[in-house]
DNA sequence: CGATTTTGACCCGCGC
DNA sequence: GCGCGGGTCAAAATCG
């Protein structure tokens, strides 16, 4: 049993103690996201402040993952090239930037290292949720059966190869699905009030 | 001028 | 084997 590090961009070092708010949340199982089970968190109160302008306002709708632990197994979306880095036992945390010689795709015979991956839905008017880290967009793709494209972001912190995907649901335009992949190797770069709050709470249930 | 975004091309896995 | 869908690269464009 591989215990994956937290997928959320918050390491256990986060000081906030996730206790008080937990009673407000309830977990519901949904089951429609790329074939994986999805967990939604309903807030009985709070986080419905949908008035704001330049700063994001979001209402968290839930965790999406294969299981409540958000382990990445079988999410099966990432391939790692072990050519330039030792991946033997490094918990797959380095998706080595493959700078230089082109594409990162694995070759035959290389073993796939899956990184922890965790997705959650957020009801938001904006696509880019301010989670306190700095991200650089490196790609965008049209998604089948979805009129909205999916955006790919990478953490800009040197040596940190955490990625995330952001996608808006076509059947519910108000819902943004954010998928985090990997674990941040550095502290958060700026404080975010409500989003940190949200993620802190979610960590209670995901224990990832 | 450095950082970030845009976008077309490329690569890979998978299903048929 | 082929086509499709998804993920990434990298050059050019844009932004601050």
- Region A106-133: what's the mean pLDDT? 65
Whether residue A8 has pLDDT greater than 50: no
Whether residue A36 has pLDDT greater than 80: no
What pLDDT does A137 receive? 94
What pLDDT does A68 receive? 42
How many of the other CB atoms lie within 10 Å of CB of A23?
8
Per-residue three-class SS string for chain A: CCCCCCCCCCCCCCCCCCCHHHHHEEEEEEEEECCEEEEEEEECCCCCCCCCCCCCCEEEEEEECCCCCCCCCCCCCCCCCCCCCCCCCCCCCCCCCCCCCCCCCCCCCCCCCCCCEEEEEEEECCCCCCCCCCEEEEEEEECCCCCCEEEEEEECCCCCCCEEEEEECCCCCCEEEEEEECCCCCCCCCCCHHHHHHHHHHHHHHCC
Task: Find and list the nucleotides of strand C having atoms within 7 Å of a protein beta carbon.
Answer: 4-10
Q: Nearest residue to nucleotide C5 when comparing alpha carbons to its C1'?
A: A144
**Through-space separation of residue A176 CA and nucleotide C12 C1' in angstroms:** 29
Per the rule left: phi > 0, alpha: psi between -120 and 50, beta: everything else, A148 is beta
**Through-space separation of residue A42 CA and nucleotide B9 C1' in angstroms:** 42
Length of chain A: 208
**Through-space separation of residue A122 CA and nucleotide C8 C1' in angstroms:** 26
What pLDDT does A133 receive? 84
A130-162: per-residue pLDDT in tens? 677 889 999 999 988 888 899 999 998 877 888
- Region A55-81: what's the mean pLDDT? 45
How far lies A183's CA from each of A49, A76, A101, A118, in Å? 29, 16, 25, 10
Task: Give dist(CA A29, CA A38) in Å, integer.
Answer: 6
**Through-space separation of residue A97 CA and nucleotide C9 C1' in angstroms:** 10
**Through-space separation of residue A168 CA and nucleotide B3 C1' in angstroms:** 26
pLDDT above 90 as % of chain A: 6
User: Does strand C come within 7 Å of the CB of A115?
Assistant: no
Give the pLDDT band (50/70/90) at residue A44: very low
Give the least confident one: A105-109, A112-116, A174-178. Answer: A105-109
Give the pLDDT band (50/70/90) at residue A170: confident
Q: In this predicted model, which residue has the larger pLDDT, A193 or A138?
A: A138
Average pLDDT, rounded, for chain A: 56
Q: Nearest residue to nucleotide B12 when comparing alpha carbons to its C1'?
A: A105
Q: Nearest residue to nucleotide B10 when comparing alpha carbons to its C1'?
A: A103
Give the least confident one: A73-87, A99-113, A129-143. Answer: A73-87
Task: Give dist(CA A137, CA A135) in Å, integer.
Answer: 6
**Through-space separation of residue A25 CA and nucleotide C15 C1' in angstroms:** 40
Reference A7, options A175, A112, A163; nearest CA is A163
Smallest CA–C1' separation from A149, nucleotide: C6
Smallest CA–C1' separation from A110, nucleotide: B12
Reference A131, options A75, A183, A197; nearest CA is A197
User: Does strand C come within 7 Å of the CB of A151?
Assistant: no
Q: In this predicted model, which residue has the larger pLDDT, A175 or A43?
A: A175
Enter the pTM of the model. 0.63
Give the pLDDT band (50/70/90) at residue A114: low
């Amino acid at each position: 049993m591989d215990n994956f590090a937290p997928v959320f961009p918050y390491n256990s070092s986060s000081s906030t103690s996730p206790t008080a708010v937990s009673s407000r949340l309830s977990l519901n199982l949904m089951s429609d996201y790329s074939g994986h089970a999805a967990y939604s968190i309903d807030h009985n109160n709070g986080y419905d402040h949908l008035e704001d302008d330049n700063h994001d306002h979001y209402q968290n709708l839930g965790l999406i993952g294969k299981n409540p632990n958000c382990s990445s197994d079988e999410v099966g979306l990432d391939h790692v090239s072990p050519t330039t880095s030792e991946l033997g036992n490094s918990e797959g945390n380095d998706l080595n930037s493959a700078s230089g010689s082109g594409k990162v795709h694995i070759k035959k015979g290389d073993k796939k290292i899956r990184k922890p991956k965790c997705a959650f839905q957020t009801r938001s008017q904006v696509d880019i949720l301010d989670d306190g880290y700095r991200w650089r967009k490196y790609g965008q793709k049209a998604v089948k059966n979805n009129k909205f494209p999916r955006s790919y972001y990478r953490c800009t912190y040197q040596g940190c190869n955490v990625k995330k995907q952001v996608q808006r649901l076509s059947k519910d335009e108000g819902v943004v699905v954010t998928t985090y992949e990997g674990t941040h190797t550095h502290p958060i770069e700026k404080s975010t009030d409500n989003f940190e709050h949200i993620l802190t709470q979610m960590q209670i249930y995901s224990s990832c």
